[in-house]
Chain A
Amino acid sequence: MTRKVARQLLLERIGTDKEFYRSLKGEDNGGEEEDDGDNSNDGDNGMVYYDEIDSSKTIDATIADVLTCTPADCLADIYADEYSGSSSESDAENRGTGVNLDMYIGDKFSNCNATEGWMEWNSK
């Protein structure tokens, strides 16, 4: 079933997009990546730096963040700029809202705060 559907989708794509069809025959090297912006903090001038990784968060909380927002929401936002169609409840579900987080979190390792259970767990 999967292969059949994939084949059908590809044929449809190939039929509507000759450029894509031509690209399938050639090698794809992905294009050229921009250099990573080095976020080193050289020359701090006495500042204290912090970044997006908050050490006080539990791993469970971060997993919940990952599952309930990006990347689907990011892509959906980009698409929304170009696409006038309305989204349905099932769209929202597909984008990650309404995820049953209990399936992914709750491990002793990942749900401890740094000042309590984590220290106990870590000292074992």
Chain B
Amino acid sequence: MSEIKVALTSLRASSVRLDLMSIRGIMIGMITARAPQIFEISVTQKVHNKYLWGNFHCRESFVRKFLQETMGWSLRRSTRAGKKTPDGVTYILTNAYFRLVHTISDNTVPNTLIVNTDQTLVTYSAGASETYAPKGSKQVEVVGKDEKRGFTLVVGISMSGEALPFQVIYAGKSNRSLPSPNAPDYQMATGILKFRIESGGDNHWSTQSTMKNYVQYTLAPYFEGHRQDPNQICVWQIDCWSVHRSAEFRLWMHNTYPWIRIHYVPANCTGLFQPCDVGIQRVLKLAIRRTALQDVINDTTEQLDHGVEPNMVAFEKRLSVVRDRSVRWLVHGYKAISNPELIKKVIFQILLSFSHSPHNHRLSNSVLLERRALTSHMRV
């Protein structure tokens, strides 16, 4: 316990910005190296208002309590500004649902050819404005507060339950800004899973160019690989982010891939109508977080095993290193969401919910029942 306090105090003293996951990683690493028997202790855990017995896992709830009560540190929950759902949200969503049904039924689009795509920011860690480096060493680029603190991940799922290869966009203008081919799991990511790793220029955000690349190298090949008829219409559901909505992108799509019909998730409704956003990203981000946690644990145990004193323990923040490590995070994230039953369930939960729409009030009971039947048929 005292060694953990020393390590955390030293990290804080060196102005390292800390988040709960990193602290938990250091604590687990130190317990693993110094007193692994602690993990054999039986403790109770509150799950859904019931107390269950289990082994000590150094959960985040324990870490929070430890930091507040033992270290006397302040904690703050990161809050994301909630988007207000638009007025008449049920009407808007019901219309979006009918638009989707219209395209699907008019063009006999099978579930394999209906894809939802979403983008999400993945941060390397809480970041740090400074890092530990030996005296006299050159300035070390670290994960900081700027645009290099993370990367954009483009995730696609099909209504048949398939996860499309990821597109990953890192900040930087050349290949030197991308993970090295020697990065852990790089061959798995690019060779087997067909991830597309790109540099986004000044920042890691998607651009016209990267979106076009996504369509050209990931989406269109997926559709072409699954459709039987070259004239088959395919459906692509995306949010109405400015690049997606831009005239340039829409015109390019219309001219280049006229057989891909774009359906926009209504503005500020992604949390309700975008399958990726509703369920898949949570699972994906947790898998990424856990793999990053494993890196912190490994860093800590390795240092202690090599005789580093607790007050000198640090976790890796060099951009080149965490960027390379991020490839393995993504492989684990992809594995976590490659669960066809989960993907289908999330998508059909959204569709089923339209059976409850008050905007069905103009429809007869028989039509309501048939709408449910329709959703059930789409489920197959």
Contacts and interface: CB of A to CB of B under 8 A. Distances in A.
Given A10-B101, A103-B341, A30 B245 contact: yes
30 contacts: A3-B105, A12-B367, A16-B362, A16-B363, A28-B99, A28-B263, A29-B245, A30-B245, A31-B86, A33-B240, A34-B268, A47-B74, A48-B20, A50-B19, A50-B60, A54-B60, A55-B24, A62-B282, A67-B346, A70-B278, A71-B350, A72-B356, A75-B90, A75-B356, A78-B85, A79-B357, A94-B355, A104-B341, A115-B39, A119-B297
B43 interface: no
Interface in A28-57: 28-34, 37, 39-42, 44, 46-51, 53-57
A70 B272 CA distance: 8
Contact of B289 (A24, A29, A53, A65): A53
Nearest to B291: A122
Contacts, number: 263
Residue from the set A50, A63, A74 with the largest chain B CB neighbour count within 10 Å = A50
A interface residue count range (under 10 / 10 to 19 / 20 to 34 / 35 or more): 35 or more
B286 A30 contact: no
A31 B341 contact: no
Interface stretch (B75-83, B171-179, B195-203, B317-325): B75-83
Interface in A61-107: 62-63, 65-67, 70-72, 74-76, 78-79, 82-83, 87, 91, 94-96, 99, 103-104, 107
Nearest to A10: B102
B353 interface: yes
A21 to B, nearest CB: 10
Given A74-B272, A78-B85, A114-B28, A6 B374 contact: yes
Interface residues of B, number: 104
Nearest to B17: A44
A59 to B, nearest CB: 5
A50 B75 contact: yes
Interface string B237-250: 00111100100001
Interface string B324-344: 000000001001100101100
Given A62-B283, A82-B90, A107-B339, 4 more contacts: A8-B367, A9-B363, A51-B78, A75-B90
B374 A71 contact: no
